[in-house]
Amino acid sequence: MSTTPLEFPEGFLWGAATAAYQIEGAAHEDGRQDSIWDAFARKPGAVADAHNGEVACDHYHRSAQDVALMGELNLSAYRFSTSWARCMPDGGTPNPDGIRFYSRLVDELLAAGITPWLTLYHWDLPQALEDEGGWANRETAERFADYAAVMHEALGGRVRIWTTLNEPWCSAFLGYAEGVHAPGRTEPAAALAAAHHLLLGHGLATQRLRARDPEAKLGITLNLNVFDPVDPADEGDRDAARRLDGQFNRIFLDPLFRGEYPADLLADVSHLGLADVIRAGDLEVIAEPIDLLGVNYYHGEAVTKSPPTATAQPSPFVAADGAHSVPRGLPVTGMGWEVQPDGLRRLLNRVQQEYTGPAGIPIYITENGAAYEDVPDADGFVDDQDRLTFFDAHLRALHAAVADGVDVRGYLAWSLMDNFEWAYGYHQRFGLVRVDYESQQRIPKASGRWYAGVAAQNALPPAP
């Protein structure tokens, strides 16, 4: 048994992350209008128990309290998203009252010594733009670049780290192919068009921000996964892993870092029109150099091949051809996701070797966390040892990746507090801090107290 703490590199950034629609509430205050998530959450059966983000964690009215809470947790960075529907409700016209909220938030963070890390898009497209075709419409990418410029005009002098998109895979494929996320469409061709236009929007916004502020740190956040063939010797299982890796990981990584889509992916989806939406010069825009890559990691998957008829319902994997994941006996979270910390180490080594390393781009873990069934005691405290163990195991895997030579410079836990968990409503809790949705009281959990100690020491305690 080791008695030595695992120290992280000097200057390693410790923080937590949230998203606007999941915590802010105030859905129709100060000029904010519907996002696609407001509209989607009102559809019968779209969200568990018909919940929505009308109130959420009431962060819009409690931001000062929440920033103080971040200080108690020893966070040095806070990754938040700005709501496009709050700042430009019709998708194109600035709303000073909405923008002012984020200006106050940034000032509160800076006063507390916490680095503001701004994400421009965490899934809350103005419904007005969805009514014009959403991300399947090329013009949305142009509008996104305009939005980026408006936000930089307001906040650029104080915000130095900018993420364009959070998890474009979810926006494109859960929203436009499987229909379980907003806007709830089940159109595979539109999903591929959305994926391309999201990437194009990222490139256009990066160009616009770079021109305005050459010293800003610009990046994108991708949710990445590890797909292992159930039987590496089986040709079908290997093809399953290739197909899912292509449509989940490489569909974004290759254009961003190599200026091209994977040839095998283009062949897999040749019948769905992706090639038709790619115009001359698009890939050069998408490959605009970035300063950092955000990686969100939650779990890996073991995958196999089955007859195409096995998937009767819409699937986000439009290139799957019967590929699907199967359980392999690992522990699972409350959402049924496998707990696979070793996958994080393997993923980071691969990403650096194949993508970020040759470009000299550092990696940040911008989301990692787990939902479990939290049971508060009489005082509202949650002794969430399962989540604490999850964080500990993944941070040890991250430390091992750093020891392998991977240039990882920070870790932002998901999430700062319990919140509206998209289609799951409020039943799945990811927070370091418990939120009592009736009283809006915030109480740090055992995992939050533990994480505060890790952040303060820049080190993991010795392994038990």
Beta bridge partners of 116: 78
**Mean pLDDT score across all residues of the chain:** 96
φ, ψ of residue 338 in degrees (nearest 5): -65, 145
Mean pLDDT of 249-268: 98
Over residues 345-383, the pLDDT tens digits come to 999 999 999 999 999 999 999 999 999 989 999 999 999
Q: What DSSP character marks residue 390? A: H
Choice among 108, 288, 367, 421 that is catalytic = 367
Give me the pLDDT at residue 309, please: 47
26: helix, strand or coil: coil
Mean pLDDT of 42-68: 93
Mean pLDDT of 403-425: 97
- Answer whether residue 222 shows pLDDT above 50: yes
- Answer whether residue 115 shows pLDDT above 60: yes
Asked if residue 272 lies in contact with residue 318, where contact means CB atoms within 8 angstroms, the answer is: yes
Residue 312: pLDDT band (50, 70, 90) is low
Top-confidence residue, 373 or 72: 72
Top-confidence residue, 431 or 307: 431
Give me the pLDDT at residue 2, please: 64
For the chain, give the longest Cα–Cα distance.
62
Token digits for 289? 């150099």
Using H for helix, E for strand and C for coil, what is the string for 73-125? CCCCEEEEECCHHHHCCCCCCCCHHHHHHHHHHHHHHHHCCCEEEEEEECCCC
Burial of 453 (0-12, 13-18, 19+ CB in 10 A): middle
The side-by-side arrangement of strands in the sheet containing 227-229 is 227-229, 301-305, 323-326
E strand segments, 285-340: 292-296, 301-305, 323-326
Give me the pLDDT at residue 306, please: 74
State the angle between helix axes of 446-457 and 385-404 in degrees (0 to 180), rounded to the nearest 10.
30
Q: Identify which of 356, 199, 221 has the alpha carbon closest to the alpha carbon of residue 297.
A: 221
Residue 314: pLDDT band (50, 70, 90) is confident
Give me the pLDDT at residue 307, please: 63
Give the end-to-end CA distance of the chain in Å, rounded to a whole number.
7
% residues pLDDT > 70 (the chain): 98
Reply yes or no on whether 284 is catalytic: no
Reply yes or no on whether 367 is catalytic: yes
- Answer whether residue 1 shows pLDDT above 80: no
- Answer whether residue 229 shows pLDDT above 80: yes
Beta bridge partners of 434: 443
User: Where do the domains of the chain lie?
Assistant: 6-460
Over residues 188-214, the pLDDT tens digits come to 999 999 999 999 999 999 999 999 999
Choice among 108, 167, 301, 338 that is catalytic = 167
Give me the pLDDT at residue 49, please: 74
Q: Identify which of 112, 113, 108, 139 has the alpha carbon closest to the alpha carbon of residue 126.
A: 139
Q: What DSSP character marks residue 461? A: P
Half-sphere exposure of 152 (CA within 13 A, CB side): 25
Give me the pLDDT at residue 122, please: 98
Fold of 6-460: TIM Barrel (3.20.20)
Residue 246: pLDDT band (50, 70, 90) is very high
User: Amino acid letter at 320?
Assistant: A
d(Cα 178, Cα 423) in Å, to the nearest integer?
Answer: 12
